[in-house]
C-alpha cells in the first residue's frame, strides 16, 4: 500500500487542453434551453423585420450603345457622327444632369403614401387624389403632409414645419403655400380623383393619406443612390440600368424613361454635331465661291483669249455662281495651249522652256525644304505650300490632291475639336490619314523633281545660244517673269480653288443624305417590367432566412464553445483521474426527487440504486484496509453543499446493515446537520462532551436502524478547533472503539476551516467527498495536497450526485481505484439486471403536457 501511495504526484498532473467529446455533448444538452431561446429571438426578430421593413423592388432595362445609323450600311456613307467613348457615355447615363432630364418627364416631385393597420404603402399613379406642384424649392424639407377630405371640395392639411404643428383648411381651388418670412418653399394645388375611395379609406383609418414634396433636384439626389449601371458584356457595349424603389411600377417607369431618353438624347447630340459640320462646310463653299469669282475677274484682265460666249473663264465663273459642277477641260491645259500658240509674245523657244523648268525646280526645292522631315504636315505649312504649288508651270493633279486631302482632314479635325480630345480614336484616325498624304506628297515631289532635272539637262541650251539671244533673254527676263508668272499664279490658284469647291459640294451632299437617314446609335434591348408586389428585392425572405440560420448556428456554436471552455466542474470519474491518482471509492447517483437535507435513504428502499451505490462503497473499503480491528472513518469535503453529511449518514446506515456496530459523530460544530438527518434534538453532543459537561453515554442517540447510533454536534461552541485538538477527543475515540466496530466522523469542510485535518490524519478510512456538476476541478488539488503536505495515507474519493442520464458522464465511464482492482456497481452484474429497484429513477405515468408547459419545462 505504501508503494501505491508513493505514486501520488508532486503536483496535480493536469495535461494541456484535450478535446472531450462526451463533455461537449453534455454541455450541448445542458445549453439546449439557451439555444431554444436564441432561436426564438431570431425567429421573432426576422418576422418583425420582414413585416415592418419597407420593401424595395429592383428592375432593369437593357441598352446597347453605339449602334451606327443604318444609312451608313445601306448607302456606304462616311460616319459623320464620330464614335464616342463608350465608358463616358455609360457614366453620363447615371449622371445628375441626364437623370434630371429623364426624371423631369415623370411625376416624381410628389410621393403619395397611405397608412394601413401596420405600416405605410407607397402609391404611384393610383392615388385617389392629385397634388399639382406649382413651385418647389430645393430647400423644401422632407416632411409628411397629412390630408383629410371633409367633402369633395374641402380638405384639411396637417404637418410639422420648423418645429411648429400647422393645420390648414383649404379647398380644391386654393393655391397652398409653405413658406416662412424670408423664403417660399412650395406652392401646390390639390384635387380629388376618386372621392368614394377616399371616404372609404378615411372611415377605416383616420388621416389615412399623406404625401411628401420634392424639387426635381432633390428627386435626382435621392435616386442617384438608387440607380446603378452594370456592364455585363463590355465588348458588345450592353448596359443594364438598374433601379431600386419602394414602388415596383415607379421603378420600372424610371428605368424605361432613362433608356428611352438615352435614345432621344443621342439623336439630339448627334444631329447637333452634324448640323455644326454642315454649317461649317456651307461657310467654306461660300468662301470658295467668292474667291473663284474674284480670281475670274482678275484673269479677265489678261487678254490671252477672245471674249464672248466661248470664254472659258466666264463660263466657269457662271457655273460656280450657279453651284453646279464643271465638266470643261482643265484651265491649265487651256493656258498651255495658249502658250504653245505663242499668244502675247511668250517665247516658245527651247531657251524659254529651259527657263520655266528651272523655275519649277526652284519652287519644288522650296516646297521640299518647307516640308522637311515632318511625318505630318502642319496646317501652317499647307497654307504656305498652296501659293508655291500654284506658281508651278504645270502642277500634276496628284500633288494638288494630296494637298487638298490634307487640308480637308484638318477641316474635319477642326469641326470635331469641341467634342473630342487629342487622344480620341477619331483624332488618331485623322492623323493617320494626314501622315499617309504627307508621305505620298513627299514621294511625288521626289519623282517630279527627278523628271524636271532630266528635262533641264536635255533642254539646257545656254552654251549654244548666241550672244544676242542671251542678251535678249537677259533683257526680257524681268518682263516675262512679272507678267507671265502672275498669270501662271492666278491660273494655279484658280485650279486649286475649283478642285476644293467641287470636293466641298460632294461632301455637303453626302452629309445631307447621311443626316436624313440617321437613327439613334443606341438600342433598347429590353424594357423594365414591374415585379410582383409579393416578390421584393429587399428584404428577401430567402436571404433573411439564410442569415437567420447562419446567425443561429454561429450564436449556438459560441454558446456551446464558451460553456465548454468555461466548464470547470467535475462531471465524472475521468475528470478526477486526469488530475489525481487517488483511489476512487465509488459514485453515488443523483436522487431524482427532492429530499430533506441529509436524510437517511437506504432504509426507505434497500434495493434502490442509491442503496446499491453505498453497498459498492462499503465493499470497496476492504481494498483500503482489510484489518479486522476497530476502524475510524473521517469524511470531509472542500466546501459546504457537496453532500458529505448525506454520504456519512447513509454510509453509516449501509455498514450497520452488514451487522457491524456503527456510530456517527458530528464534528461540524459550526454548521451541524446530522441531527436533521435523524430527526433528533441537538441539545447536547460533541461540544458538551469535549468540554466535559456531559459524558459520552449520555449523548449517544439511537437511530431507527439496528446497530447505528449517533452523537450530534451539540450547541455551537466559540472554539471548535481547540476542542477537536484537545485530549478529550482522543479519549472519546478510544472509548467508542470499545463499543463500536466503525466510528464515522462527519468533519467540517477543510476548504473553509481546518478543523477536520486532525481527525482526517488519525482516520483509518479518510474519505473526501466531491459532488458531480458542483465541485470545481481545482478541488481535486486539495486531495493531492493532503497527501503531499499533510502525509495523509489511504485517502479515497467518493463522487456524489452523479447524473447517470448524462451520456457517458454517468456510470458509463467506469473507473479503477488505484490498487489494481476494477469494480462496478452491482458487483459486476451492472444495473438494470434485476438486482436493484430504483423507484426514484423510474418514469412515472404523468399527464400529457401542453405546448406551453413543454416550453416552460425547457427553461425550468
DSSP one-letter string for 403-424: HHHHHHHHHHHHHHTTT--TTS
Mean pLDDT computed over 763-780: 89
Please identify which residue in the block is written with the cell numbers 430647400: 139
Q: Are 751 and 639 in contact (CB under 8 A)?
A: yes
Would the CA dihedral through 544, 545, 547, 548 be positive or negative? Answer: positive
Question: How far apart are the C-alpha atoms of 111 and 121, rounded to whole Å?
Answer: 11
Question: How far apart are the C-alpha atoms of 352 and 340, rounded to whole Å?
Answer: 12
* Model pTM score: 0.54
C-alpha atoms less than 13 angstroms from C-alpha of 644 in its C-beta half-sphere: 32
Q: What is the DSSP string of 435-456?
A: HHHHHHHHHHHHHHHHHHHHHH
Please identify which residue in the block is written with the cell numbers 476541478: 777
Give the CA dihedral 614, 618, 623, 629, nearest 10 degrees. Answer: 160
Q: Which of the listed ranges 463-477, 667-681, 734-748 does the model predict with the highest average pLDDT?
A: 734-748
Q: Is 630 left (phi over 0), alpha (psi -120 to 50) or beta?
A: beta
Checking if the pLDDT of 173 tops 90, the result is no
Greater confidence (148 vs 845) lies with 148
Checking if the pLDDT of 43 tops 90, the result is yes
818: Cβ–Cβ under 8 A, 6 or more apart, which residues? 4, 7, 581, 582, 583, 584
Mean pLDDT computed over 379-403: 73
For residue 518 the three cell numbers come to: 440617321
Give the pLDDT score at 343. 37
DSSP bridge partners of 584? 797
- Residue 767: pLDDT band (50, 70, 90) is very high
Count of beta carbons in the 10 Å neighbourhood of residue 805:
12
Helix, strand, coil abundance in the chain, percent, nearest 5: 50, 15, 35
Which DSSP state fits 840?
Answer: T
Count of beta carbons in the 10 Å neighbourhood of residue 339:
21
Closest CA to 645 of 679, 600, 604, 606: 600
Would the CA dihedral through 329, 332, 335, 336 be positive or negative? Answer: negative
Q: What does the mean pLDDT of the chain come to?
A: 75
Question: How far apart are the C-alpha atoms of 798 and 570, rounded to whole Å?
Answer: 12
Greater confidence (610 vs 349) lies with 610
Checking if the pLDDT of 792 tops 60, the result is yes
Q: Are 608 and 839 in contact (CB under 8 A)?
A: yes
Give the pLDDT score at 416. 66
Percentage with pLDDT > 70 across the chain: 73
Measured CA distances, 443 to 78, 103, 400, 492 (Å): 28, 59, 13, 21
Residues in the chain, total: 860
Give the pLDDT score at 355. 72
For residue 725 the three cell numbers come to: 485538538
pLDDT (tens digit per residue) in 190-217: 999 888 888 888 877 666 889 999 999 9
- In terms of Cβ atoms closer than 10 Å to its own Cβ (0-12, 13-18, 19+), residue 715 is middle
For residue 160 the three cell numbers come to: 410639422
For residue 298, the SS3 value is helix
- Determine the distance from the C-alpha atom of residue 191 to the mean position of all C-alpha atoms in its chain, rounded to a whole number: 45
Checking if the pLDDT of 826 tops 60, the result is no
- Residue 368: pLDDT band (50, 70, 90) is confident
Mean pLDDT computed over 328-346: 38
- In terms of Cβ atoms closer than 10 Å to its own Cβ (0-12, 13-18, 19+), residue 258 is buried
Count of beta carbons in the 10 Å neighbourhood of residue 821:
10
Q: What is the DSSP string of 88-106?
A: HHHHHHTSHHHHHHHHTTS
For residue 711 the three cell numbers come to: 452523537
Checking if the pLDDT of 318 tops 60, the result is no
Checking if the pLDDT of 37 tops 90, the result is yes
C-alpha atoms less than 13 angstroms from C-alpha of 302 in its C-beta half-sphere: 21
- Residue 167: pLDDT band (50, 70, 90) is very high
Give the pLDDT score at 158. 92
Checking if the pLDDT of 479 tops 50, the result is no
Percentage with pLDDT > 90 across the chain: 19
Burial of 375-388, coded b for 16+ CB within 10 Å and e otherwise, reads: eebeeebbebbbeb
pLDDT (tens digit per residue) in 498-550: 777 878 877 777 777 666 656 677 788 889 898 888 888 888 888 899 999 99
Q: Kind and range of the H or E element at 524?
A: strand 523-526
Give the pLDDT score at 14. 46
Question: How far apart are the C-alpha atoms of 613 and 607, rounded to whole Å?
Answer: 10
For residue 470 the three cell numbers come to: 542671251
Closest CA to 690 of 734, 727, 743: 727
- Determine the distance from the C-alpha atom of residue 569 to the mean position of all C-alpha atoms in its chain, rounded to a whole number: 43
Q: Is the peptide bond before 758 cis (omega within 30 degrees of 0)?
A: no
Mean pLDDT computed over 813-825: 36
Question: How far apart are the C-alpha atoms of 858 and 429, rounded to whole Å?
Answer: 80
Which DSSP state fits 181?
Answer: S
pLDDT (tens digit per residue) in 617-674: 988 888 877 777 888 999 999 888 888 889 999 999 999 988 899 999 999 888 888 8
Question: How far apart are the C-alpha atoms of 686 and 679, rounded to whole Å?
Answer: 17
Would the CA dihedral through 717, 722, 724, 727 be positive or negative? Answer: negative
Give the pLDDT score at 577. 84
Count of beta carbons in the 10 Å neighbourhood of residue 276:
14
Mean pLDDT computed over 404-415: 76
Mean pLDDT computed over 445-461: 68
Long-range own/partner contacts, residues 697-706 (CB < 8 A, 24 or more apart): 700/663, 703/600, 703/653, 703/678, 704/600, 704/603, 704/678, 705/600, 705/603, 705/653, 705/656, 705/657, 706/656
Q: Kind and range of the H or E element at 28?
A: helix 21-30
Give the pLDDT score at 345. 38
Amino acid at each position: 500500500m505504501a508503494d501505491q501511495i508513493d505514486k501520488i504526484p508532486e503536483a496535480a498532473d493536469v495535461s494541456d487542453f484535450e478535446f472531450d467529446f462526451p463533455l461537449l455533448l453534455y454541455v450541448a444538452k445542458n445549453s439546449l434551453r439557451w439555444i431554444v431561446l436564441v432561436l426564438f429571438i431570431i425567429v421573432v426578430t426576422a418576422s418583425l423585420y420582414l413585416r415592418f421593413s419597407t420593401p424595395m423592388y429592383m428592375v432593369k432595362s437593357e441598352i446597347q450603345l453605339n449602334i451606327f445609323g443604318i444609312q451608313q450600311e445601306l448607302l456606304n456613307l462616311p460616319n459623320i457622327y464620330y464614335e464616342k467613348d463608350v465608358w463616358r457615355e455609360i457614366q453620363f447615363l447615371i449622371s445628375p444632369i441626364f437623370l434630371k432630364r429623364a426624371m423631369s418627364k415623370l411625376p416624381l416631385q410628389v410621393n403619395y403614401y397611405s397608412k394601413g393597420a401596420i405600416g405605410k404603402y407607397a402609391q404611384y399613379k393610383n392615388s385617389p387624389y392629385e397634388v399639382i406642384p406649382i413651385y418647389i424649392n430645393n430647400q423644401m424639407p422632407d416632411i409628411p403632409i397629412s390630408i383629410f377630405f371633409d367633402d369633395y371640395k374641402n380638405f384639411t392639411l396637417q404637418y410639422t414645419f420648423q418645429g411648429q404643428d400647422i393645420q390648414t383648411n383649404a379647398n380644391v381651388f386654393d393655391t397652398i403655400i409653405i413658406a416662412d418670412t424670408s423664403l417660399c418653399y412650395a406652392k401646390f394645388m390639390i384635387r380629388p380623383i376618386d372621392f368614394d375611395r377616399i371616404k372609404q379609406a378615411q372611415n377605416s383609418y383616420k388621416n389615412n393619406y399623406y404625401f411628401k414634396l420634392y424639387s426635381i433636384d432633390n428627386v435626382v439626389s435621392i435616386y442617384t443612390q438608387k440607380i446603378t449601371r452594370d456592364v455585363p458584356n463590355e465588348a458588345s457595349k450592353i448596359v443594364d440600368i438598374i433601379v431600386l424603389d419602394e414602388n415596383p411600377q415607379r421603378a420600372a417607369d424610371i428605368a424605361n424613361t432613362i433608356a428611352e431618353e438615352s435614345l432621344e438624347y443621342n439623336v439630339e447630340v448627334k444631329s447637333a454635331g452634324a448640323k455644326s459640320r454642315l454649317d461649317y462646310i456651307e461657310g467654306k463653299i461660300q468662301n470658295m465661291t467668292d474667291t473663284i469669282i474674284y480670281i475670274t475677274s482678275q484673269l479677265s484682265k489678261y487678254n490671252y483669249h477672245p471674249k464672248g460666249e466661248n470664254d472659258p473663264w466666264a463660263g466657269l465663273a457662271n457655273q460656280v455662281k450657279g453651284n453646279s459642277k464643271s465638266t470643261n477641260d482643265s484651265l491649265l491645259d487651256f493656258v498651255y495651249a495658249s502658250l504653245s500658240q505663242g499668244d502675247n509674245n511668250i517665247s516658245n523657244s527651247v531657251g524659254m522652256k529651259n527657263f520655266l523648268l528651272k523655275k519649277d525646280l526652284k519652287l519644288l526645292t522650296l516646297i521640299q525644304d518647307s516640308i522637311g522631315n515632318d511625318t505630318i504636315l502642319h496646317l501652317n505649312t499647307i497654307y504656305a505650300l498652296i501659293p508655291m504649288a500654284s506658281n508651278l508651270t504645270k502642277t500634276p493633279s496628284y500633288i494638288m490632291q494630296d494637298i487638298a486631302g490634307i487640308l480637308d482632314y484638318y477641316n474635319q479635325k477642326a469641326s470635331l475639336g469641341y467634342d473630342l480630345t487629342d487622344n480620341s480614336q477619331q483624332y488618331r484616325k485623322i492623323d493617320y490619314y494626314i501622315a499617309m498624304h504627307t508621305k505620298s506628297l513627299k514621294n511625288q515631289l521626289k519623282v517630279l523633281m527627278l523628271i524636271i532635272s532630266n528635262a533641264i539637262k536635255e533642254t539646257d541650251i545656254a552654251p549654244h545660244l548666241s550672244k544676242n539671244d542671251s542678251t535678249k533673254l537677259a533683257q526680257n527676263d524681268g518682263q516675262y517673269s512679272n507678267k507671265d508668272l502672275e498669270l501662271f499664279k492666278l491660273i494655279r490658284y484658280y485650279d486649286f480653288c475649283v478642285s476644293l469647291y467641287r470636293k466641298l459640294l460632294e461632301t455637303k451632299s453626302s452629309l445631307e443624305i447621311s443626316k436624313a437617314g440617321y437613327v439613334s446609335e443606341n438600342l433598347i434591348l429590353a424594357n423594365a417590367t414591374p415585379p410582383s408586389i409579393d416578390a421584393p428585392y429587399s428584404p428577401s425572405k430567402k436571404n433573411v432566412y439564410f442569415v437567420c440560420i447562419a446567425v443561429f448556428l454561429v450564436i449556438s456554436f459560441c454558446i456551446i464553445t464558451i460553456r465548454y471552455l468555461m466548464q470547470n466542474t467535475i462531471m465524472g470519474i475521468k475528470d478526477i483521474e486526469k488530475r489525481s491518482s487517488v483511489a476512487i471509492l465509488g459514485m453515488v447517483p443523483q436522487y431524482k426527487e427532492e429530499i430533506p437535507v441529509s436524510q437517511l435513504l437506504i432504509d426507505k428502499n434497500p434495493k434502490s440504486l442509491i442503496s446499491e451505490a453505498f453497498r459498492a462503497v462499503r465493499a470497496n473499503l476492504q481494498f483500503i484496509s482489510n484489518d479486522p480491528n476497530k476502524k475510524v472513518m473521517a469524511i470531509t469535503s472542500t466546501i459546504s453543499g457537496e453532500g458529505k453529511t448525506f454520504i456519512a449518514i447513509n454510509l453509516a446506515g449501509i455498514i450497520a446493515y452488514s451487522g457491524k456496530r456503527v456510530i456517527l459523530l458530528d464534528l461540524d460544530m459550526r454548521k451541524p446537520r446530522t441531527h436533521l438527518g435523524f430527526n433528533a434534538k441537538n441539545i447536547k453532543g460533541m461540544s458538551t462532551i469535549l468540554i466535559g459537561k456531559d459524558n459520552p453515554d449520555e449523548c449517544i442517540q439511537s437511530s431507527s436502524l439496528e446497530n447505528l447510533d449517533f452523537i450530534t454536534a451539540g450547541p455551537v461552541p466559540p472554539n471548535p478547533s481547540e476542542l477537536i485538538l484537545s485530549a478529550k477527543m482522543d479519549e472519546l475515540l478510544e472509548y467508542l472503539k470499545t463499543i463500536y466496530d466503525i466510528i464515522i466522523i462527519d468533519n467540517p469542510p477543510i476548504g473553509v476551516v481546518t478543523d477536520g485535518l486532525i481527525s482526517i490524519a488519525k482516520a483509518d478510512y479518510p474519505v473526501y467527498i466531491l459532488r458531480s456538476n458542483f465541485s470545481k476541478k481545482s478541488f481535486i488539488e486539495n486531495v493531492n495536497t493532503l497527501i503531499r503536505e499533510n502525509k495523509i495515507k489511504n485517502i479515497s474519493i467518493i463522487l456524489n450526485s452523479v447524473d447517470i442520464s448524462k451520456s457517458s458522464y454517468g456510470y458509463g465511464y467506469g473507473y479503477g481505484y488505484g490498487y489494481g482492482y476494477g469494480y462496478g456497481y452491482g458487483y459486476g452484474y451492472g444495473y438494470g439486471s434485476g438486482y436493484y429497484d430504483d423507484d426514484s429513477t423510474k418514469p412515472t405515468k404523468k399527464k400529457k403536457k401542453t405546448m406551453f408547459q413543454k416550453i416552460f419545462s425547457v427553461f425550468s
